[in-house]
Amino acid sequence: MKRLVCAVVLAPLAYLVACSSSETGGSHSSPTDGGADAPADSGADADADSSAKPPSVLDSLDPSQGPFATELASVRAMTATLAAAGAGTVDRLFVGGDPLLVGAAAERVVHVGSADCANSPYGCPSRVPADEVLAQFATSRPALRAALLAALDGLERLRWVAAAHTAIGFANLLDQTGKLSASDKAALSPKFTALAGVKPALAEFQFAQELPASFTQVKALYALTDGVLVPAPATAAAAKEVVASVASLLAPLGAKPGSFAPFAEGAAPVSSSPALATLKAATLLPAMAAEDPAKDVDAYLLVVDAIVDKAAKGNEATIDWNAYAAALDALDAHVDRALIGFDAHVPPPGPPPSPSSSSFAAPPTEAGTLENDPRAALLQMALPATCLHGEPVTPVTDDDVVRMRTPDVGSWSTAGAVVTTRRFPVGTSPSIAATPLPSPVDVTPMPVSCYVTNDIGVPYALVNAAACGVPIRFVATCFGKFTMDHVEVIVRRGESGPVLLRHVYRPKADGSLPAMTWFLPRIDDPALAKDAFNAYRVDVTTVSRGGASDSRCVPVYWPEGTPTGPAPKNPCTAPPGPVVDLFADPTLPTSTFVVEKYGAGIRLRPAVDAFLATGDFFKVENRSGASVELVTMYSAPFADATGLSTTVIGTVARFETGPLADGASKTIATPPLSSKLAPHRWVFGRPGTDGILAQVFATNL
């Protein structure tokens, strides 16, 4: 095995380990080291690599130790509580695809005026609820503006407190290496103490409480959702002082592109080094600035004004939905920025550090089967009541919830990989069109044989062996009343290309299951493009034993040969799906789902039925004009994989209608449920087709 001679450098947006090697190869874009560790290399080769130079100074440093250890522990406890309470997860604050549900109301008006429901004996849904929402928007507009600004301000506080967590750890590192002067220490100390001493540090924010009483229907819908825990305003203000003070120390200490002299001694650090993660995140501090979402909120409301006006005047067919999507995208960009900022400074928990070196053994080339993955590695635990809520915070024990943070993957891109934590509109699988937000992408180290250095000493991912690949880490997920049923990983080419890798993992009796696997493009992708960046989407879906689920997408950019041309499109962005109609539909019989034509596809009325109990019946009636088959999904919003040994979730079997001719119906009984209070969830879709059509909830009363 080749010996590496390494020096540590710190770039503005990514921490790099510069290594020299006897191997030569093509030019690729540089990887960054991430916080998730991987199985250690074993044997004499690993020992030889680790003895090539003295251990890195970073491996002996600890950001949690030093003059500000107490303050850091306080802020770390705060961010840990925020993470367990759902910070960084999708749709915890408001519906990202339609925050005021005005789009859904306008869509109801459009639907009533179309021929899509003409085949239904129940006629089209009433437009009365929609007209009420649109009229209430017009009279409540100033208060709705204030509510949106308050929600975005709450999220903005997340990233400042998370950044302060990095800043305090970085100050400890400076002190441990003699780089923090007495005067700087004296100046920082009261700011750190002030942040750690804010009481109460956290506050619960519920969008329903911000909505005016005049916005009755939407306020009632949001009242069904628990609030979100965010930093209190005083906490965020103190955090901004901490970040600004520490950021001012970076440039004088030698931080510039490709160089950070105070930490250049020794060999490359192990990938899981706490000091490495803190240094990498510290490079983001100077670029932090306050964000004012007012102009984007105002632009969004102006587009909504136009929608309300057209619907009121009977011109709903001319609504500019593209303008609505663009305005919504600008609004949601503030959400993305806050959540990405939180994840960048508060990485999810990783496994223990590698005991020998930052290199590790190559994964098997054999991909295995759907339910047997020879590349799976590490272990994590999935246990119930690990999600938190409320203030003071308590575990979630009555509700079935899943809160999952963005998975960690390996990525390489000359343009800089872009990750957007896009919020998923209810009932849709793909993320909506997004303005890319630059963000560093964490990378678990690849086998040493996958690296080569260029003539200026910067390491590149050298794709010279089948074992060079992309590590995929399933980030720890919290659960409410129930624990995990399974997690499913899907890798496909591009936004909607063929599935290249798919695995389902189920926890053992003790709650343990693998924490990572590998995607090997040279093995798994028969259409791997040469001399190009190959873009893939990695979708990870976690499902509880009560049927609740969360699905997250992360892009991967793989350079093969010598890439030329522009960086590929982010495969995790896509046009929005249909707006889901959440309003009452009194024209339908109780517990009856009606399948109707919807443009070139179908839709179900209603989108949600949440009032069933064990032993109740509901009916699915097809009025779409063609034969239809529906089935509940194992890993919503994705169609079931071929070869599943079971489709039971928890102890509950799935629903399936079988083929239904136009005009036919199927009556389905809800089965016995073992747990009371928290309902079981079934998600209807079409066999072989991604996307959610409707959801059924039933409770054992």
Confidence of residue 162 (pLDDT cuts 50, 70, 90): very high
Alpha-carbon torsion (305, 311, 314, 317), positive or negative: positive
- Round to whole Å and give the CA distance between 412 and 268: 19
Alpha carbon 268 to chain centroid, angstroms:
30
Instruction: Count the neighbouring beta carbons within 10 Å of the beta carbon of residue 182.
Output: 7
Residue 471: strand pairing partners: 518
pLDDT tens-digit readout, 655-696: 999 999 999 999 999 998 887 778 899 999 999 998 888 999
Instruction: Count the neighbouring beta carbons within 10 Å of the beta carbon of residue 12.
Output: 14
Mean pLDDT of 564-588: 71
- Round to whole Å and give the CA distance between 226 and 395: 13
- Round to whole Å and give the CA distance between 295 and 405: 29
Residue showing tokens 């990202």: 96
- pLDDT for the residue 442: 33
| DSSP-based helix, strand, coil % in the chain, nearest 5 | 30, 25, 50
Residue showing tokens 């039925």: 609
Instruction: Count the neighbouring beta carbons within 10 Å of the beta carbon of residue 466.
Output: 14
Confidence of residue 9 (pLDDT cuts 50, 70, 90): very low
Alpha carbon 51 to chain centroid, angstroms:
39
- Residue 434, judged by CB atoms within 10 A of its CB (0-12, 13-18, 19+), counts as buried
- pLDDT for the residue 692: 87
Say yes or no to pLDDT of 488 above 80: yes
Please enumerate, as own/partner, the contacts of 320-327 that have beta carbons within 8 Å and a separation of 24 or more. Answer: 324/103, 325/432, 325/433, 325/575, 325/576, 326/433, 327/296, 327/299, 327/300, 327/302, 327/303
- Residue 282, judged by CB atoms within 10 A of its CB (0-12, 13-18, 19+), counts as buried
Mean pLDDT of 453-468: 45
273: closest CA among 453, 82, 469, 63? 63
pLDDT tens-digit readout, 204-263: 888 999 999 999 999 998 888 778 889 999 999 999 999 999 998 887 776 543 344 445
Q: Which two tokens stand for residue 411?
A: 């990525």
Residue 470: strand pairing partners: 519
- Report DSSP state, residue 569: P
Share of the chain above pLDDT 70, in %: 74
- Round to whole Å and give the CA distance between 361 and 376: 13
Confidence of residue 307 (pLDDT cuts 50, 70, 90): very high
- Round to whole Å and give the CA distance between 224 and 662: 35
Phi/psi class of residue 108: alpha, beta or left (left: φ > 0; alpha: ψ in -120 to 50)? Answer: alpha
Which of the pair, 420 or 142, is modelled with greater confidence?
A: 142
Residue showing tokens 């663009």: 326
Instruction: Count the neighbouring beta carbons within 10 Å of the beta carbon of residue 197.
Output: 11
Per DSSP, helices labelled H in 197-293 are: 207-210, 216-222, 233-250, 274-282
For 95-129, give one letter per residue: b (16+ CB within 10 A) or e: bbbbbbbbbbbbbbbbbbeeebbebbebebbebeb
169: closest CA among 270, 287, 76, 32? 76
- pLDDT for the residue 567: 63
pLDDT tens-digit readout, 357-369: 333 456 788 999 9
Cβ contact 438:13 at 8 Å: yes
- pLDDT for the residue 86: 74
Q: Which residues, including other chains, have CB under 8 Å from residue 375's CB and lie 6 or more apart? A: 363, 364, 366, 367, 368, 517, 518
Least confident of 28-32, 201-205, 213-217, 388-392: 28-32
- pLDDT for the residue 131: 93
pLDDT tens-digit readout, 247-293: 988 877 765 433 444 454 444 444 456 776 677 678 778 878 888 89
- Round to whole Å and give the CA distance between 436 and 423: 13
Q: Which residues, including other chains, have CB under 8 Å from residue 525's CB and lie 6 or more apart? A: 493, 500, 534, 536
- pLDDT for the residue 573: 66
Residue showing tokens 């306008």: 106
pLDDT tens-digit readout, 37-94: 222 233 333 333 333 344 556 667 889 999 999 999 999 999 988 888 877 564 557 7
User: In a 3-state reduction of DSSP, which class is residue 299?
Assistant: helix
Which of the pair, 570 or 130, is modelled with greater confidence?
A: 130
Supply φ then ψ for residue 512, to 5 degrees: -90, 145
- Report DSSP state, residue 471: E
Mean pLDDT of 616-624: 95
- Round to whole Å and give the CA distance between 500 and 503: 10
- Report DSSP state, residue 516: E
- Report DSSP state, residue 652: B
Say yes or no to pLDDT of 36 above 50: no
CA distances (Å), origin 538, targets 136, 497, 551, 554, 669: 41, 12, 10, 5, 36
Cβ contact 154:160 at 8 Å: no
Q: Is the pTM of this model over 0.85?
A: no
Say yes or no to pLDDT of 581 above 80: no
Mean pLDDT of 625-631: 96
Say yes or no to pLDDT of 501 above 60: yes
Least confident of 184-188, 545-549, 563-567, 596-600: 563-567
Average pLDDT, the chain: 76
Confidence of residue 592 (pLDDT cuts 50, 70, 90): very high
Q: Which residues, including other chains, have CB under 8 Å from residue 258's CB and lie 6 or more apart? A: 9, 11, 16, 458
CA-atom Rg of the chain in angstroms: 26
User: In a 3-state reduction of DSSP, which class is residue 598?
Assistant: strand
- Taking the alpha carbons at both ends of the chain, their separation in whole angstroms is 64
- pLDDT for the residue 410: 56
- Round to whole Å and give the CA distance between 132 and 343: 39
Residue 596: strand pairing partners: 603, 623
- Round to whole Å and give the CA distance between 78 and 544: 26
